[in-house]
């Protein structure tokens, strides 16, 4: 169809050429800026005009990490230059000069954060942007009083909260948040574990939150820590583990194809070290927990007979259960029967081999691994 005498194909072609020309000009402009800025850098030019050049380059390419390094060098020799009041003899002059320097640093750091924010909104997964914002916060801690520095760190928590609202699975955002929390805790001389745990629950219960690996990982770190901080006893720890198993089981039942859920489920079921939720769980209680989880997975497998994550979990958990049965009773196993119910391990192994056969078919990329596992089961 023609449009004012110009066919669509001709219009598309002319527009493409026009766009190509714009791209060429933009590239030429970028290369010219890079060349000019690198010349300034080679000359050890740490002037404000050079700082402005880095701004232009980084707006076009925020992944240019050496340009960020140059920018930081300039800032340290200009706006963030250290201040030595010893040269001033008059006390009033010292106070006035110190306050002026303090205010100038605050202004410079705020401007630097204002510069990176629009870029971060467009490039939320650019590591160098997050890294530069962290650097500005570190400078606040070095140069400013702890009270003023704390304001910067806490304000940044609001920013990362906003960024994670936009993309709750942004790995860089979660990593950055962990760093912020750690520093704020130092400044406040207190723990934020409880609040962060509530935050992760809000995330995983939100729309699409069950798929958030970072949030589940945070729970695996925060729950043991909070239990230690609150001096929880063994029963309270087992109750916490039961609550988490119930939470993750609901998520797995809803979406067994989500790999992030299985990482957390594996942590809950198998972790027994100091980083576990209930590290001193009596053997009898652990046996009961593992048996229950395995049975629930078998039931889920009936509805999803070829779901590889369910199969892989069973292939992992059943041998772990068999090994646990062979361990001596725990000192806390007062109620454990002297004679445990006989278990047909040969039948269990037969079932494991069937699961491994299915895995070879549904997960062919790891077929060799499943064949090796089956061989070990047969030779055991």
Q: What is the mean pLDDT of each run of 10 residues along the chain (380 residues)?
A: 49 68 89 97 97 98 98 96 69 69 91 97 96 97 91 95 92 96 94 97 87 95 98 97 97 95 98 96 97 98 97 98 92 60 89 98 96 93
Residue 182 within any structural domain of the chain: yes
Query: What span, in angstroms and rounded, lies between the C-alpha atoms of 74 and 54?
Result: 10
Q: What sign has the CA pseudo-torsion 106, 112, 113, 118?
A: positive
Residue 51 within any structural domain of the chain: no
Residue 227 within any structural domain of the chain: no
Spatial CA neighbour of 327 closest among 375, 282, 269, 266: 282
Query: What span, in angstroms and rounded, lies between the C-alpha atoms of 318 and 218?
Result: 27
Q: How many domains does the chain have?
A: 1
Residue 67 within any structural domain of the chain: no
How many Å separate Cα 123 from the centre of its chain?
17
Residue 196 within any structural domain of the chain: no
The token pair at 40 is: 């300034």
Burial track 308-347 (b if 16+ CB lie within 10 A, e otherwise): bbbbbbbbbbbbbbeeeeeeeeeeeeeeeeeeeeeeeeee
Spatial CA neighbour of 10 closest among 1, 20, 23, 21: 1
Residue 29 within any structural domain of the chain: no
C-alpha dist (Å) from residue 36 to 30, 174, 185, 195, 221: 10, 36, 43, 48, 47
Is residue 175 within 8 A of residue 160, CB to CB? The reply is no
Per-residue pLDDT, 201? 96
| Three-state secondary-structure class, residue 168 | coil
Per-residue 3-state assignment (H helix, E strand, C coil) for 259-276 = HHHHHHHHHHHHCCCCCC
The token pair at 230 is: 């609150």
Residue 203 within any structural domain of the chain: no
Residue 30 within any structural domain of the chain: no
Domain extent, residue 165, equals 79-84+93-190
């Amino acid at each position: 169809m023609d449009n004012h005498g110009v066919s669509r194909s001709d219009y598309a072609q002319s527009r493409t050429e026009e766009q190509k020309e714009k791209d060429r000009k933009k590239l030429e402009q970028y290369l010219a800026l890079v060349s000019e800025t690198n010349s300034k850098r080679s000359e050890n030019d740490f002037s404000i005009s050079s700082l402005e050049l880095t701004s232009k380059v980084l707006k076009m390419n925020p992944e240019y990490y050496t340009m960020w390094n140059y920018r930081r060098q300039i800032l340290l020799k200009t706006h963030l230059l250290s201040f030595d009041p010893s040269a001033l003899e008059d006390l009033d002059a010292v106070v006035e000069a110190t306050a002026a320097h303090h205010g100038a640093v605050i202004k410079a750091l705020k401007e630097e954060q204002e510069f990176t924010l629009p870029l971060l909104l467009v490039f939320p997964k650019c590591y160098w942007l997050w890294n530069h914002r962290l650097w500005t916060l570190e400078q606040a801690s070095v140069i400013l009083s702890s009270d003023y520095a704390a304001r910067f760190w806490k304000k940044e928590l609001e920013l990362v909260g906003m960024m994670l609202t936009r993309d709750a699975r942004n790995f860089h955002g979660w990593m950055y948040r962990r760093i912020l929390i750690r520093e704020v805790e130092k400044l406040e001389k207190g723990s934020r574990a409880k609040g962060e745990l509530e935050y992760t629950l809000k995330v995983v219960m939100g729309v699409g939150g069950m798929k958030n690996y970072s949030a589940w990982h945070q729970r695996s770190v925060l729950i043991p820590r909070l239990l230690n901080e609150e001096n929880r006893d063994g029963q309270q720890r087992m109750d916490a583990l039961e609550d988490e198993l119930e939470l993750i089981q609901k998520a797995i039942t809803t979406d067994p194809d989500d790999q992030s859920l299985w990482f957390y489920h594996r942590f809950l079921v198998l972790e027994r070290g100091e980083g576990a939720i209930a590290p001193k769980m009596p053997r009898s209680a652990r046996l009961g927990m593992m048996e229950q989880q395995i049975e629930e997975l078998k039931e889920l497998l009936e509805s999803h007979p070829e779901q590889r994550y369910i199969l892989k979990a069973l292939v992992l958990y059943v041998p772990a259960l068999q090994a646990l049965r062979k361990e001596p009773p725990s000192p806390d196993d007062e109620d454990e029967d002297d004679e445990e119910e006989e278990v047909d391990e040969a039948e269990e192994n037969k079932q494991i081999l069937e699961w491994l056969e299915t895995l070879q078919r549904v997960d062919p990329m790891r077929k060799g691994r499943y064949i090796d596992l089956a061989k070990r089961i047969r030779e055991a």
